[in-house]
Amino acid sequence: MSSESALSSLRLVHQCRGRARWRYGCHGRPPLDQPGLRYAIADLPGVQAVRFNPKASSLIVTFDAQVTEIQSLAEQILSLAPPPGRLTPPASPPDAVSRTRLATNLAALLGVNLLPVPLRLPLSLLMAMPVLRHGAGELFSRGLTSHVLEGMAVSISLGSGDYLAANTTSFMLELGEYLEESISRRSDDMLRELLKPASDEIWVERDGVEILVPAGEVQVGETVIVATGMVIQIDGTVLGGEAYVNEASMTGESRSVAKARGDAVMSGTVLEDGRLRIYAEHVGQRTAAARIADYVQQSLTAKSEVQLQASRLADRLVPRVLGLAGSAYLLSGDWRRAAAVLQADYSCALKLATPVAFKSAMYAAGKGGILIKGATALERLAEADTFIFDKTGTLTNGDLVVTDSITFDSAYTADDLIWLAASVEEHYFHPLAIAVVEASRNIEGRHFDHTEVEFIVAHGVASEIDGKRIVVGSRHFVEEDEGIDVSPWQETLHGLYHEGKTLLYIGYGGSLIGVLALRDTVREQSAATLARLRQSGVKRILMLTGDHHDRAQDLADRLGIDEVFAQLLPEEKASIIEQLTAEGARIAFVGDGINDAPALAGAHVGIAMQKGADIARISADIALLQDDIGRVAEARELACAAMGLIHDNYRIAIGANTAILGAAAVGLLSPIVASVLHNGTTIGILLNALRGRH
């Protein structure tokens, strides 16, 4: 029972603090995809730089010695699967092939003693050939492993003429491998499906006409059209238009960046405001976002620390099992005792049950709207003792609502202001505009007829009503660009600002006639989610925000948050997380995946809310695929349950296999019974690990 890895071996040839050079071995298939594997290695914890020298079969890795050590790093590199979508064939066979092979082994087991004696050995040898070949290969490449013991046990049974025992072992091993492959493959398939972009179509300009085409059909050199709210799916250069693009997914910078003709844009970023015509330079798998997605896919097969510990323990126990088999034979002279002991070892259960439990939990999380990018993320989530939340879009909905309509001109009522703003904003899809239009639907009023609306990117909108210019937008827009004096109402405006409200200024005929104040609302499930986190063992819950301290503290008091850090810039959030981590806290940071990218990257485990889903899939360890903060508590509970299940399976594997080995050594078990008990125990533990799927 094993899965293929990208590299067959690593031999350390030079090391110094923070740097190691290995000679690597391959599996002799098509050429190694070094760029894809380099991205995967670079994504491992603590790795700073990776370089391949294919001519010398050399791999050089620079790493942070405080985060990882050479032995652990080598084991994680060896656990990486071949990069997806390359020349290397898939490690797991199709289900139909696996089922056929399993059925053939079962038929051989049931029918071997019904065949003429001369045919029994050839049939049994044919069925055992995969086990023997695998064991011999590992003996020469890796030394003593569990597969070597399995090959020896089958060889002894074949050599002594006990074909039923040999075929029983072959069948049980095949059954266990089939279950492990099926579980892992289905879990991985679903997880990879969740990693696909939200849209697989792109707007392109062909022959002067904008058409929507499948993303895979876009060619280098074509003109791609991206509008407000869309994810940029190619790397390229702006040909025309102006827009603000949020590049947090790629650069970690939370502030939107203005883009105009000649500027470069990257895939995976979000166009927040405006419209761009882009010359496509890199498309499909050659884009920056696709390369980062390779990191994520590789993380599905990278081993966590728990898995590495289980593998190391299992490997250390192999020589002891072999020694016990030799001792049993020397003391009793009975080859059946030696064969029975060799049937039972710790490796299968310890090495297979742990990844199956992880992937089953990840599968269950995916079905529940939670994308967990690998076993390490799940393990770290269970270890976290401190949860830190961003405020806006996380503990709050992130959807603005109009709270105040304040008029500075007696000719207009508060409702008139809302309808005036809504009349010109209804064609605009900015969050502020959407909130104003929604507010107008809840009050009595009339639509104001206006001329064509002018959109001023990142400022506001302008039009004409009854021959007078109306502008709706930011203070900078109405005061500096339009020359409207707002100073007479400074005290009122200042008070609204300190209440944590966003202001929308309305100028008409050259005068400020009023402002609309908008505010975010607290999520209904926020308090319940924090309570569930405490019940799961979380010791501290904190909040980081760029908002005013008084407003942030008020929300913290309502939700029962332990400590608040307010009026922060994005880089200051990351600094606080770094400081708390240095003090020993294991932090899970929950943010929206856009303006919290530095903090998400610096935490023990980062959790991104759904409202930045395309960005979050790349920048965070865990991404919520539904806009429900309750999923944070569900992810934590699922992680704790998975780790509890892994530890239970660990104890069962050690206890059951120790008992089987002892009984086999003293002659209480035949090779057949030992094989059935050992492999049956392994299969039982695998099935127990499947509880993480529910």
Q: What share of the chain is helix, strand, coil (3-state, %, to 5)?
A: 50, 20, 30
In 437-521, beta strands by DSSP E: 454-456, 460-465, 468-473, 502-508, 511-519
Residue closest to 436 by CA, chosen among 453, 418, 414, 456: 418
Q: How far apart are CA 353 and CA 292, in angstroms?
A: 29
Q: How far apart are CA 70 and CA 7, in angstroms?
A: 16
- Helix, strand, or coil (residue 627): coil
Enter the tokens of residue 589: 């940071």
Output phi, psi for 351, to 5 deg.
-80, -30
- Amino acid, res. 629: I
Q: How far apart are CA 371 and CA 363, in angstroms?
A: 9
Residue closest to 645 by CA, chosen among 184, 306, 192, 371: 306
Sequence-distant (6+) residues with CB within 8 A of 447 are 419, 422, 423
Beta bridge partners of 472: 461, 506
Residues in the chain: 694
Is residue 339 a contact partner of residue 326, using CB atoms and an 8 Å limit?
Answer: no
Q: Strand 605-608 to strand 622-624: parallel, antiparallel, or no bridges (unpaired)?
A: parallel
Is residue 570 a contact partner of residue 368, using CB atoms and an 8 Å limit?
Answer: no
Q: How far apart are CA 567 and CA 542, in angstroms?
A: 14
Residue closest to 636 by CA, chosen among 393, 384, 369: 384
Burial zone of 94 (CB within 10 Å; 0-12 exposed, 13-18 middle, 19+ buried): exposed
Q: How far apart are CA 185 and CA 280, in angstroms?
A: 35
Output phi, psi for 227, to 5 deg.
-120, 180
Q: How far apart are CA 694 and CA 669, in angstroms?
A: 36
Q: What is the SS3 assignment for 152-207?
A: HHHHHHHHCCCHHHHHHHHHHHHHHHHHHHHHHHHHHHHHHHHCCCCCCEEEEEEC
Q: How far apart are CA 116 and CA 119, in angstroms?
A: 6
Q: Give the DSSP letter string of 658-681.
A: HHHHHHHHTTSS-HHHHHHHHHHH
The CA-based angle 565-571-572, given to 5 degrees, is 25
Q: How far apart are CA 659 and CA 293, in angstroms?
A: 45
First to last CA, the chain: 24
- Match 């979000």 to its residue by tokens: 270
Output phi, psi for 181, to 5 deg.
-65, -45
Q: How far apart are CA 640 and CA 365, in angstroms?
A: 13
The H or E element containing residue 415 is helix 414-425
Q: How far apart are CA 247 and CA 268, in angstroms?
A: 8
Is residue 280 a contact partner of residue 234, using CB atoms and an 8 Å limit?
Answer: yes
Is 621 a residue of the active site? no
Catalytic member of 162, 235, 345, 390: 390
Residue closest to 18 by CA, chosen among 72, 77, 67: 67
Is residue 542 a contact partner of residue 563, using CB atoms and an 8 Å limit?
Answer: yes
- Catalytic residue list: 390
